[in-house]
Amino acid sequence: MRFPTAEVERAVTAAGVEVLGVRVPRERAREVWEEWRGRHSETGWWPYITLSSPTGMAEGRRESGRDAGVLEQWVGEAVCQDHDARAASILVSACRWAVEEVANVDDDPDLWRSDYDPDRLAPLLAPPVERPLRGVSQWATGTRDFFEKDLRWVHLVGARGGYEVPVLLPFVYTTWNWSGYGNRGLTPLDASALLRRWHEQWGAELFFAMGPYLELVVDRPPLDPRGAAQAAAELHAYCIDTVHDPVETGDTMARSTMWSLWWD
């Protein structure tokens, strides 16, 4: 109804997941996304913004060997798993990985541990802020780098929430240089656990996904040092390529309404 001349494209992935898509002007992509997010409880379709058509996304992703049964199992696990516990284990494994990396280097492991320990990180952050910092999209509606195009695709996927998208479309976002998520081989179930935790804790919603790029709209970002430290530590564990400095992230992105991540 908003774009009566727009043609809806439909594609089905090799695993049988249906994706609908329509192209919209870049400056209106957020508006369309917000509308369909608001109607998710009625439709069951979750929207996200990207640059690829449904057909291009379905044909270009490496889903061979993942049939509908595998995806059904993954989605079932994503729904039933203790996402808080899984997020905590990701934080612990990331810390262990970092400490082991510097074990033979003249460095203090405790300095690395503080990056992953919210209780140690919180005293290093700025005092509480009264309202969320304004987050700005870099890729969904912005013109950064090679994203200087006038149109965006809004995809719709049948899902309980944006946190299921990584298991329904395992390569909707990933990295160029690694076969898994990040540089420690995290799985789509790990991604789903983090996204669901962030959704329930801070109202984070999957907004933009493509290649090594991910953006989340955050309705209730943490404003106090302890909450911001928790978010920054988890973001650091998930995407160290973007979150180099958890202190800086805890004072800025973690307290903002947009989280933009990029795997190098």
Q: Which residues contact 260 (CB under 8 A, 6 or more apart)?
A: 135, 137, 138, 139, 213, 214, 215, 242, 253
pLDDT exceeds 80 at position 117: yes
pLDDT at position 178: 44
SS3 9: strand
103: confidence class by pLDDT, cuts 50, 70, 90:
low
Tell me whether residue 180 is in a domain. yes
Tell me whether residue 2 is in a domain. no
The average pLDDT across 7-14 equals 90
Domains identified in the chain, total number: 1
pLDDT exceeds 60 at position 61: no
pLDDT tens per residue, range 142-187: 766 555 578 899 999 999 999 999 988 887 887 544 444 445 578 8
The average pLDDT across 78-102 equals 80
Domain of 119 in residue numbering reads as 9-262
Q: Provide, rounded to the nearest whole percent, the portion of the chain with pLDDT above 90.
A: 51
pLDDT exceeds 50 at position 4: yes
The average pLDDT across 238-251 equals 93
pTM: 0.88
Please provide the average confidence, as pLDDT, over all residues in the chain.
85
Tell me whether residue 4 is in a domain. no
Tell me whether residue 120 is in a domain. yes
Tell me whether residue 223 is in a domain. yes
How far apart CA 87 and CA 216 sit, in angstroms, is 17
Tell me whether residue 1 is in a domain. no
**What number of other Cβ atoms are within 10 A of residue 67's Cβ?**
12
1: confidence class by pLDDT, cuts 50, 70, 90:
low
Tell me whether residue 3 is in a domain. no
pLDDT at position 21: 96
How far apart CA 10 and CA 40 sit, in angstroms, is 18
Identify whether the C-beta of residue 151 lies closer than 8 Å to the C-beta of residue 25: yes
